[in-house]
């Protein structure tokens, strides 16, 4: 257990699955109060419940809430939520991500993200 995180408050965006979940778990089992958020509030609440069981007895706690951080209003609602419950935020892990599709001006359609600057799977020419 690392005393470095004990009693600190953290926010992990994209914290309900994958790497974000692992980060949240690591912080919680080391005594940190961790807020997790994603666009799927039900997933955040379920993950928070699971992580609270894992972190039981460590002094850590996980609280889930939903917020769409891809839009300004979602960012503002996340700040408002945290501000209602905490005086300070010590740690911010910005793990939330969204796939952005590139626009191909020649075809006016979206290509898969991996096609940026290269050939897409349905075309043989490069840009």
The pLDDT tens digits of the residues spanning 45-98 come to 999 999 999 999 999 999 999 999 989 999 999 999 999 999 999 999 999 876
pTM of the model as a whole = 0.75
Least confident of 9-13, 25-29, 118-122: 118-122
Domain residues of the chain, as ranges? 9-93, 101-127
Which residue carries 């898969």 as its tokens? 112
CA-wise closest residue to 61 among 74, 70, 50? 50
61 SS3 class:
strand
Give the pLDDT confidence score for residue 3 in this predicted structure.
78
Structure tokens, 74 = 């979602």
Which string of b and e fits 61-83 if b means at least 16 CB within 10 Å?
bbbbbbbbbeeeebeebbeebbe
Tally of CA atoms within 13 A in the half-sphere of 41 that contains its CB: 6
CATH assignment of 9-93, among 3.40.50.620, 3.40.50.300, 3.40.50.720, 3.90.25.10: 3.40.50.720
CA–CA separation, 59 and 52 (whole Å)? 10
């Amino acid at each position: 257990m690392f005393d470095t995180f004990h009693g600190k408050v953290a926010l992990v965006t994209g914290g309900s699955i994958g790497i974000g979940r692992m980060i949240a778990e690591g912080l919680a089992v080391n005594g940190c109060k961790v807020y997790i958020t994603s666009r799927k509030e039900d997933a955040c609440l379920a993950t928070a419940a699971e992580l609270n069981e894992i972190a039981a007895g460590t002094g850590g706690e996980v609280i889930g809430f939903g917020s769409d951080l891809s839009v300004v209003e979602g960012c503002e609602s996340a700040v408002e939520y945290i501000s209602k419950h905490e005086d300070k935020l010590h740690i911010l892990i910005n793990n939330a991500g969204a796939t952005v599709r590139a626009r191909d001006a020649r075809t006016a359609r979206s290509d898969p993200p991996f096609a940026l600057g290269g050939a897409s799977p349905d075309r043989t020419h490069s840009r």
